[in-house]
Every structure is written in structure tokens, then in C-alpha cells.
Structure 1
Amino acid sequence: MGKRKKSLSVVKKKGNNFIELGKAWFDWGDIYHFLLTISWASFFSLIIFAYLILNGIFAIAYMSVSEGINNVRPNSFLDAFSFSVQTMATIGYGAMYPESLPAHTLVAIEVFIGLLGLAMITSLMFVRFSRPTARVLFSKVAVICPYNGVPTLMFRVANLRNNWIVEAQVRVSLLMPDTTTTEGYTMRHLVDLSLVRSQTPFLALTWMIMHPINSNSPLFSINQEEFLREDYQIFITLMGFDGTLSQTIHGRHIYFNQDIIWDHHFVDVVRITPDGNRYIDDAKFHDILPV
């Protein structure tokens, strides 16, 4: 079993994505999770690479067997590779066939490996397609502006699918800067932020998440300069039930200190058509204006 040489150390932002530095890219002990989380392009590239390598290995094995495959040109890797492809896929055109016992043994082994590979790839494809995912859009920035006379941290989310996220719940936590205990240990801790509304019966269009910065808020005594100077981060997790699949879905996002814009508010994105229907103006979802 492979061992990770590094552990999670820090989360950094690169463009619109987040990377975890210090974590091993691959672990043989967790290959199933690796195959489920890589991109589709990487997944198919890996399958094609493994398919070519396996057929190449068996082609070399067939070439090393004397009087192994009938109707194969002597020392022809292409013919042996073609026979391996036919055998692994159990096609069996009949033009080439094994003659000796070692060749029959290799054919049996390759057919068995081909059946196992087909079953594994089929199951992985099914899991990747059936895995519930949330198409939740988080605003690129969060803002701090007055709301009913109280400074309020705000950001918004939207459901990108044409269905409902039922019983949606959101949790917002503030990652505080490093602190040193009396024993000399350096630690960071998360503080949950209270929200004006932390759940909604259904999320169909957009939802403005708001945290009032009052005397009970850990942000109450922090000014803009200190917030930008220290390594504050805001972690958001959203959970709900997909209204179509009836499965639990999750969404997550991180706002770093430079992503928090002070004294700005979001542009209204909800529009009403003449027949009374509501829709979101996606072009202005991330737009903000000075207070």
C-alpha cells in the first residue's frame, strides 16, 4: 500500500480554483477515490493508456511463444497486437487463433483480465455518472455593507439547475489567524458565524447569505486594515436534497481575506417578466457597487 509522504498544510487560491498544498497527488491505498475524482479527460486517458499497455504486453508474450498463433506473420508486433485486441474484447474473427498450449494459456489469462477490466470500467462509469453533484454558484466576492443599520457580511448563491434544492442549509465559519497557547503551541480555530437565515425550504433562484456584525460577532472588533493584514478565511458549506434525484448534495466555497470587499453591495439580479415569472440575470450575478 502506498504511503503519503506529505500531509495537508495549507489551502491556496489559484484563479477560481483552490489547491491543497502538501497533500500527496496519488495514493495506491485510495485508488478508488482517485479514479472517481479525476476529470473525465484524465479518466479516459488513463483507460486508453492502460488498454494499450496491456495489449502491448500480451502482444510481446504471444511473440515469445513458439508456434503460438496461427496466421501471424513472423516477428510481427502489429499482428500480435491485433490478436491481443481481439482476444481481450472476445471478438474472435477466426483468422488468427492459438495453436500451442502456452498460447491457449495466455489467451485464457487475457480473456479473464479483459472481463475483469470491463466490469471495473463499467462500474466506475456508472458511479461517476450517478454520483449526485450540486451545481451551485457562489458569488466571486463577499461584501460588508450596512443592512438595517448593522454592518453585515453578505454573499450570494444560486442554483444553476432548473430544479429545486429542497431543505437547503448553509453553514459559514471564520478561520481565525494563528494563535499561540501558553504552552507554546500554534493553533488555528474555526468560529461559526450566526446568520440571518441559515436554511430555506427550497433554493430555486438565488439566496443572499447574511451575517450581522454585531457585538456577538467575532468580526465586530476587526477593522478593514487588520482583516486584510491577517490571514482570515471564510468557509462555506451548503447541503440540501436534489429535487429531481432525491439525493443529498453538497456545495462548498472559500473566501480569502482579499475576496471580502468592504463598503460595497450586490447588484440586484432578480428580474420579473411581464407575465409575472422571475428569473436571474446571470450577467450581473457577481457585480457589486459602492455603498
Structure 2
Amino acid sequence: MSGVKCHIGQDVEKQGSKLPKKWNDPNKIPTDRTMVVGGAAGARDSLDGPGCQLKKRRQRYVEKDGKCNVHHGNVRETYRYLTDIFTTLVDLKWRFNLLVFTLVYTTTWVFFGLIWWLIAYLRGDLDHAGDRDWTPCVDNLNGFVSAFLFSIETETTIGYGYRVITEKCPEGIVLLLVQAILGSIVNAFMVGCMFVKISQPKKRAETLMFSQNAVISMRDNKLCLMFRVGDLRNSHIVEASIRAKLIRSKQTKEGEFIPLNQTDINVGFDTGDDRLFLVSPLIICHEFNESSPFWEISQEQLAREEFEIVVILEGMVEATGMTCQARSSYLDSEVLWGERFTPVLSLEEGFYEVDYDTFHHTYPTPTPTCSARELSELAKKGEAIPLPPLSPPASVSDTPNPQSPRDRWEEGAGQEEGEEENVSNGDVKKMDTEYE
């Protein structure tokens, strides 16, 4: 997981530059993260300088809000979009979707209105307008405007009763059948497209929360990577599941460079812990074992790594039954070593309450600085796990005997009815002041 930490012009999209088409471009510099614009030769030389002072912001593969930061360029087979025109219309932005919706109906009305007017013109109905002895194809059709209005009435089945087709016009009857059938197809297609677009569960994903940072700390004597997820709505996500991917460039033994390679991170697939009952916020845990990509990562090495962890939460919306997906990501700089999430669940009078003010809060906890592999070797030798000294915050030292989260939870559960104080899991408010 080694990579160059200092780059020039890393944020290529913000600079308006496109990703290069060739790796051997002399003006482009391949890195473990992506391809970046090199600029002048002096700028490239500064990469090897002491301190790397010109480091730019890292480019994300997936934004914090779940948007995938990948643009497709040089797509020559654009006809493929037309083969799936329904999905193409649903994926359009609302302003373009409404424009297409309006144009489709207006075009069909004008097209059939022109044909109705052409029939009346060829039959001579326009020359005998107002002649009661003449039987026209369509009563009271005396111009293109009236033909256009009759086309709208026919396709929308409004039926005002002023303009009606007569039985002595076989070509008009055939056109009426064609317009009725095609009009039904257009209605089914466009209304179905609008319904699917309106009922898309994308907005439901915005009420699914991910913690701003991921943490690494000890859990059951093992190093673990953890992040928190939560649902703001009372309607639950049915069959919710979580998975995570490690996005990191790699080079194979044969010398092949694979940019942004995806590696699966086990968050409970073998034990079923990836299936979530997301009623209250949950902490998702990845254990550092021999199959973990973080098996040999220590705190010191983490500071030199370049990677991105993409987390994906999927499930069905309880109200509609449609599948919903929420995404977020954590850069290596957003992974905190030696931290633990502040508890957010408190025991109230007859119910549990979630305090989302502390959803993203963490506090320091004693954590070994060595890798999980080294911890495993120490455990096999029977040696004690080395823990770095942790100086408590000043607010903690002011408290003579600070209670643990478990003690505070049990104290809150044991309170008698009528007491004013209600102690939460971990005393949420006190933990905020201690470890913010």
C-alpha cells in the first residue's frame, strides 16, 4: 500500500483537466492514486524535495454524499443509450425530462392535427365550411387550429362534443384508430417514465447517515476498523446490508499497474453481521486478520498510505418496496487511529433515544501502534500488548471517579420512576465535553 504522498495538481477535475489517455505521456505523472497533471519540470522535481510542500487535496473516487466521481469520456457507441430509451429518459435531469415530456406530447398533437387538417383539405371540407348540405369528415373543423384542437381532444379523450367525426369518412376512422392506439402508447411510456423518476429512492438515501470518520481501535483484543451508520427516518430499511471496498492502486508481480483497484473488506459477510437491523445507529466493524488488506498496517505506516474506503448500504424502502442504495467514502486521512465512537443511545423513560448531535464524535482510547500481524506474533509468544500512554483530557481529570459507559448505562436503567436525572449510554453530554 505504498504510495507517493505529495503530488502536484492532484485534483485534476477541479483544475479542468481530463484524465490522460496514455500512461507514457511525458506531461502526466502516474501515481498510486490517479493520474495528475505534472505542469512544469520544476514542479515535478519538487516531488522529491524535502517536506513536499506542494501537496494538493486528494481526489476522491466516491464523494461523501455518495456521488461517484467518475466521468465517461470518448464514448463512441452512443446508440446504446437509444436502445434503452426508457432508462435514458429516467436518468435525465428533471429540466430535460420535463422538456422531453412536453415536446413528445406537443409533437404528437401537432402531427395528428396536421393530418386531420390535410384530410379536410383534400376532401374539400374547408371550402364548404358552413354548408349544411355538405357532410364533412369532422364537423366544425374549418382550419388548422380547429384540427389541432380536435387532435388534442382525440388523444386525451376530452370530448367536448363540438367537433366530432362523421361516419362517412373512412380515412378519418382509420386515423382515429391509429391516433387512439399511438396516444395510449405515448401516455403509458411518458407517464410511466415520470412515475418511475418521481418514485426513485434516491432521496431516501439522503436520510441514511455515515460517520464523517472511520476509526481504528481494539475490540475484543483485536485491531478493528470501524465506522457508524444510522437512519434518520422512523420507517425502516428492509433487508439492509452493508459492504465495503478498498480503493487502492496496485502493481502486480508482472509489473502491470492497476489504477484504483477494488479489494473487498469483510464487514461480517461470513458471520451474517453485514445484515443490519437498522433501527438505531450501528457501528460496523472490520477485523484485522490475515485475510484483511490492513493486516500489516501500523499507525506509522497508515500516515504514509494512500487509499480510499468506499462503504455501500443497500436495502428496500419499507414504504415503496424499491431498492435503495446509500454510499460514502473515507480517505486515509479520515481514518483515525486510536479513537472510538461516542455512544449515542440512551435509556429514557419507557423507550430508547438516539442523540444525533454526537453521531460523528469520537474519543481517544489506548490502542497499540503496531500492526495486527505484530500483535498476533506477540500473542503467540505470550508477551503483553504494548499500549501507548494516553493522557486524559483536563475535563476528565476534574472528575474524581469517572464512570465507564457500561456503569452509566446500568445506572440509567436502574433509576426509579420520578427521578429527574436520566443517565445515557456513556453519558453522551459529558463525553462530548470530555473528548471534543
One-letter amino acid of the counterpart of residue 352, structure 2: R
Corresponding residue of 2:13 = none
Give the match for residue 218 of structure 2: 147
Structure 1 spans left out of the alignment, 5+ residues? 1-8
Equivalent in the alignment of 2:285? 210
2-structure distance, mates of 1:165, 1:239:
8
Match among 170, 185, 195 for residue 116 of structure 1: 185
Matches within 5 A, 1:79-158: 79-98=146-165, 100-121=169-190, 123-124=192-193, 135=205, 137-139=208-210, 141-148=212-219, 151-158=223-230
Instruction: Assess, with a 3 A threshold, how the Cα gap between structure 1 residues 44 and 212 changes in structure 2: closer, same or farther.
Output: same
Counterpart-to-counterpart distance in 2, 1:20 and 1:104? 53
Q: CA deviation at 1:174?
A: 1.2
243 and 83 in structure 1: CA distance in 2 versus 1, 3 angstrom threshold: closer
| Structure 1 pair 56–181 and aligned structure 2 pair: CA distance change class (3 A) | farther
Aligned partners of 1:142 and 1:153 also within 8 Å: no
Contact 2:63 2:69 in 1 (8 A): yes
Q: Could you tell me how far apart the structure 2 residues matched to 1:181 and 1:64 are?
A: 74
Return the alpha-carbon distance in structure 2 between the equivalents of residues 182 and 98 of structure 1.
77
TM-aligned CA deviation for residue 241 of structure 1: 6.1
Aligned 8 A contact 2:242 2:313 in 1:
yes
The answer on 1:175 being equivalent to 2:253 is no
Asked whether the 8 Å contact 1:139–1:156 carries over to 2, the reply is yes
Counterpart of 2:304? 226
Q: Is the 8 A contact 1:167 1:200 kept in 2?
A: yes
Secondary structure at the counterpart of residue 325 of structure 2: strand
Contact 2:231 2:279 in 1 (8 A): yes
Query: Given residue 211 of structure 1, which amino acid in structure 2 is its aligned partner?
Result: H
Q: Does the residue aligned with 1:50 lie in a helix, a strand or coil?
A: helix
What is residue 18 of structure 1 aligned with on the other side? 68
Q: Contact 2:213 / 2:330 at 8 angstroms: preserved in 1? A: no
User: Offset at 1:185?
Assistant: 5.8
User: Which is higher, the Rg of structure 1 or of structure 2?
Assistant: 2
Take 1:128 and 1:75, find their aligned partners in 2: how far apart are those partners? 35
SS of residue paired to 1:18:
coil
**CA separation of 1:162/1:94 partners in 2, compared to 1, >3 Å: closer, same or farther?**
same
Please say if residues 63 and 329 of structure 2, whose CA atoms lie closer than 8 Å, have aligned partners that are also in contact. Answer: no
C-alpha separation in 1, matches of 2:147 and 2:264: 64
More strand by share: 1
For 2:230 and 2:248, the matched residues in 1 are separated by: 27
* Aligned-residue identity in percent: 21
Query: Structure 2: 5+ residue runs without aligned partners?
Result: 1-20, 22-33, 35-59, 126-136, 365-436
Shift of 1:82: 1.9
Tell me, yes or no, if the aligned pair for 2:340 and 2:362 is still in contact at 8 Å: yes
Match of 1:3 in 2: none
The alignment status of 1:28 with 2:99, answered yes or no, reads: no
Change in Cα spacing, 1:160 to 1:80, as seen in structure 2 (3 Å) is farther
**Quick one: distance in 1 between partners of 2:173 and 2:140?**
15
| Equivalent residues, number | 275
Please tell me the residue identity of whatever aligns with 1:221: I
CA 1:91–1:206 in 2, change beyond 3 Å: closer, same or farther? same
Aligned to 1:5: none
Superposed CA RMSD in Å reads 3.9
Which SS does the other structure have where 1:21 is aligned?
coil
Q: In structure 2, what residue type is equivalent to 1:154?
A: M
Describe the SS at the equivalent of 2:154: helix
Cα offsets for 1:203-233 (capped at 9, x unmatched): 2111111224466531232634333xx3x23
Mapping of 1:178-193 within 5 angstroms?
178-182=250-254, 184=256, 186=258, 189-193=261-265
Q: Aligned in 2, Cα 1:157/1:256: closer, same or farther, shift over 3 Å?
A: closer
